[in-house]
Amino acid sequence: MVGVGTNQHYVPKFYLKRFSKNKLVSVYSKKSKCFFSTLKAIKSRSSSLGFYDDFTNDGDVTDIIDQALKPVEDKTSKILECLHGRCIDSKNHNMTPILCIQQKNDLSVFLTLQLLRTSKVRNALHCFADAVKAKLRECAGDNSRVFPNIVVDGKSIQLEALRNTENLIYYQNYLLDARWVLVYNDTNIPFITSDNPVYSIPLKNEIGVMGITPFFSEDREICFPIFSENLSSHYSKRNIWV
């Protein structure tokens, strides 16, 4: 396959362009708590070599998941462009219709996939898989030496989640049932985004697995910055604030 082993984005380039200047972005590191000294090209941001590469039943490497994401990204890019065109006119943005049913459906598909496809989710799944394997070996006790070798890891769990059509449709309907709100930014402070552009905000304290499944609780607001200068959109089960 052409895309096998290539640089694959877990945050699409079309989206990063909306927060860039000349396809360059300023990057802030939460770990070091400072900005990088130089601007970074979006082609190298939020990506990794072979991030979605998987094995077929015959043992061949395939990039079928990365290829399947492209038409979803193409539709979403057009939807965001449409929203941008509707909302840049400050005189009319308050009267702007949000989205038609088809656009809302297509954007729900993208948001569902984007919530599950990032590096942060994969790392959380790695930790989850390691914890499960450690617990199973602990329960095996003296028999741990003959405990079967468990090969599951964060990547395999994540790719399986992205292949699981039934669950994806469930999550998509979760978003479709929400109240959607668009927030117009008329300040001089731009919206920013991150390696996890679709993020969930708990409406109450939760314990445990929220880092693994973004849809664990219905008492959340799902948020998605759309443009740096003028529009942000949030999605939630009971309220979608933007």
Q: How many CB atoms lie within 10 A of CB 171?
A: 21
The half-sphere exposure of 124 on its side-chain side, counting CA atoms within 13 A, is 16
3-state secondary structure the chain: CCCCCCEEECCCHHHHHCCCECCEECCEECCCCEECCCCEEHHHCCEEECCCCEECCCCCEECHHHHHHHHHHHHHHHHHHHHHHHHCCCCCHHHCCCCCHHHHHHHHHHHHHHHHCCHHHHHHHHHHHHHHHHHHHHHHHHHHHHCCCCCCCHHHHHHHHHHCHHHHHHHHHHHHCCEEEEEECCCCCCCCCCCCCCEEEECCCCCCHHHCCCCCCCCEEEEEECCCCCEEEEEECCCCCC
Give the pair of three-digit tokens for residue 163. 């292949």
Quickly state the pLDDT bin for 145 (edges 50, 70, 90): low
Average pLDDT over residues 76-104: 74
Residue 114 pLDDT greater than 90, yes or no? yes
Domain locations along the chain: 7-236
pLDDT tier at 82, thresholds 50, 70, 90 = confident
Q: What mean pLDDT, rounded, does the chain reach?
A: 78
Per-residue confidence at 229, pLDDT binned at 50, 70, 90? low
Q: pLDDT tens, 37-48?
A: 678 899 989 999
The pLDDT of residue 159 is above 90: yes
pLDDT grade for 204, boundaries at 50, 70 and 90: low
61 has pLDDT over 90: no
